[in-house]
Amino acid sequence: MKRTLFLMLLLLSFVFSLFSAGLADAAGDPAGALVLRASLEGVIGIAMEDHLAEIFQEAEKAGADVIVLDIDTPGGLASSMRAMYQSILESPVPVVAWVWPSGARAASAGAFIVLSSHVAAMAPGTNIGAAHPVTAGGGDIPDGEMAKKVTNDFAAQIRSLAEQRGRNTKACEMMVTESVSYTAHEALDAGVIDIVASDLETLVEAVSGRTMRLASGDEIRLALDSYEVRRYEMSPRLKVLHFISRPDIAYLLLIAGIYAIIFEVLSPGGFVMGVSGAVLVLLGSYGLRMLPVNIAGVILLVAGIAVMILDLVVGGVGILSLFGAASLVFGSLIIYRAPGGELLNMSYSFLIGAVLVLTAFFLLAAFAVWKSFGRKAVSGSEGMNGLKAVVVSDLSPEGSVNCHGEIWRAVSRTGETISRGQKVRVVKSEGLTLYVVPVKEENRTGEGEKS
């Protein structure tokens, strides 16, 4: 009986172990392919470049089968653009660049990012292109050797990307040489992109089954019949950096910081304005470093600030300050009209309004500070000058006076003796000693009233 019971327990243990192993294997098997989805939205700069690097790290860590990048950008820094499309070209994981949602764009540098991807896709209602290099004023580069160099360099880059991904090199090159911009269906018909998809499900269905060649030379076939989508968001650190790289925010930080430093110079003391201004200027400068900036706009900004300071130095707020404010406004209008910056998404009404408000506040505050320079001191040793006192003990020439309800050591400035009870006026103070002169008119009036 015991032997039979032992054999039954042993059999149950064996069956249970097999069942547990089966469950473990089932739990270990993924439900399907892993699709890592992330967004590249906004100006292409250092923050966006770091964000893409973190996306690739997350894809490698999670074992993603494909990366889907939602693209919506007006362009940005050429250096960051090159670093980003080089990362995509060298990616061990297939990358699908999808211009999404409707109304989004892949303009200027964004077009290079899309064309470098293994699969280029667009949603209906989007556009791609307008990658022609322009002058700092926003116009075409004049004929000349430099114009040819710049245009040919960008054209060669985009041809190389199109050729590597098997796309229409001529149609892609026209985005640089002729500033052509395509709608989603125009880009598909021209061979610039591979897919038009309105939603992720349609996109994944169109991508599934495609064979792609990686940088290592290996070919991989995507099997996405069953898949899981995992969203990857930009880290808080990069969100902050990306926020200050917005054209309007970076500019306002810079202007507010400069004003704060000026206030510290005009009215030193607590260092709060100076330190705050320095921090704002550093943040604004960092943001501007991530943007294509027109040097003429920067010169106008600096000139505007310099003129306003000069007006304060030479005699208060006047006509020069108005010219300085005008220089700030015009500098704001053209500061981002640089190569890659002509398509930056920014609100000029907000920017101009904010500059006008900041300038008006600066002028009013600076005027108040300037007027205070001419006011009579009301504290300290200088605050005693001009005050009236009454002689407590004869000044011959030294004695004491009652000033502000306090007894002070006093000296007759003229050297004459001043009798007790007479009124005097303080003309100088040194430490705890007041130098006084008699107030003769009031003393005479007092004597007349006594008689």
Could you tell me if residue 377 is inside a domain? no
Query: Other C-beta atoms within 10 Å of 333: how many?
Result: 15
CA distance 438 to 451: 20
Number of domains the chain contains? 3
Strands (E), 127-250: 127-129, 181-183, 195-196, 211-213, 219-221, 227-232
pLDDT of residue 260: 79
Q: Please tell me whether residues 218 and 261 are part of one structural domain.
A: no
- Among 340, 372, 404, the domain-final residue is 372
Q: What does pTM read for this prediction?
A: 0.62
C-alpha distances (whole Å) from 360 to each of 70, 346, 356, 405 are 42, 22, 6, 44
CA distance 108 to 147: 17
Instruction: Report CA torsion sign: 158, 164, 170, 171.
Output: negative
Examine residue 397 and say whether the peptide bond preceding it is cis (omega within 30 degrees of 0): yes
pLDDT of residue 377: 52
Catalytic choice (148, 149, 170, 440): 149
Amino acid type, 254: L
Q: Please tell me whether residues 227 and 299 are part of one structural domain.
A: no
Q: Please tell me whether residues 388 and 438 are part of one structural domain.
A: yes
Find tokens 């300050």 and name the residue.
321
Asked if residue 351 lies in contact with residue 301, where contact means CB atoms within 8 angstroms, the answer is no
Token digits of residue 263: 């206030």
Q: Please tell me whether residues 73 and 221 are part of one structural domain.
A: yes
Catalytic choice (108, 245, 327, 412): 108
Q: Please tell me whether residues 158 and 258 are part of one structural domain.
A: no
The angle formed by the CA atoms of residues 21, 25 and 28, to the nearest 5 degrees, is 135
Q: Please tell me whether residues 252 and 103 are part of one structural domain.
A: no
pLDDT of residue 292: 53
Could you tell me if residue 7 is inside a domain? no
39 is catalytic: no
Residue span of the structural domain in which 279 resides? 246-372
Q: Give start and end residues of each alpha helix (H) in 166-267.
A: 169-177, 184-189, 200-207, 236-244, 247-266
- Among 372, 397, 420, the domain-final residue is 372
Token digits of residue 38: 């992330």
Token digits of residue 18: 């097999």
Q: What is the enclosing helix (H) or strand (E) of 435?
A: strand 433-438
Q: Please tell me whether residues 267 and 320 are part of one structural domain.
A: yes
Token digits of residue 196: 């038009």
Strands 33-41 and 95-99 turn out to be unpaired
Q: Please tell me whether residues 387 and 312 are part of one structural domain.
A: no
The CATH number of the domain where 96 resides is what?
Answer: 3.90.226.10
In the three-class reduction of DSSP (H, G, I as helix; E, B as strand; rest coil), residue 247 is classed as helix
- Encode the chain (451 residues) as per-residue pLDDT tens digits: 545 544 454 455 544 443 344 433 333 344 589 999 999 998 887 789 889 999 999 999 999 999 999 999 988 777 788 999 999 999 999 999 999 999 999 998 899 999 999 999 999 999 999 987 654 334 455 666 777 887 899 999 999 999 999 999 999 999 999 889 999 999 999 999 999 999 999 999 999 999 999 999 999 999 999 999 999 999 988 888 888 877 667 778 877 887 777 777 666 555 667 778 777 877 777 666 655 556 666 777 777 777 777 766 665 556 666 777 777 767 766 665 544 444 454 555 666 676 677 667 766 766 666 666 555 555 555 667 888 899 999 998 899 999 878 889 999 988 888 989 999 999 988 878 899 999 875 444 444 433 3
Q: What's the DSSP call for residue 374? A: T
Could you tell me if residue 12 is inside a domain? no
Asked if residue 49 lies in contact with residue 289, where contact means CB atoms within 8 angstroms, the answer is no
Q: Please tell me whether residues 41 and 172 are part of one structural domain.
A: yes
108 is catalytic: yes
Q: Please tell me whether residues 339 and 386 are part of one structural domain.
A: no
The CATH number of the domain where 443 resides is what?
Answer: 2.40.50.140
Q: Please tell me whether residues 250 and 131 are part of one structural domain.
A: no
Closest CA to 64 of 205, 216, 222: 222
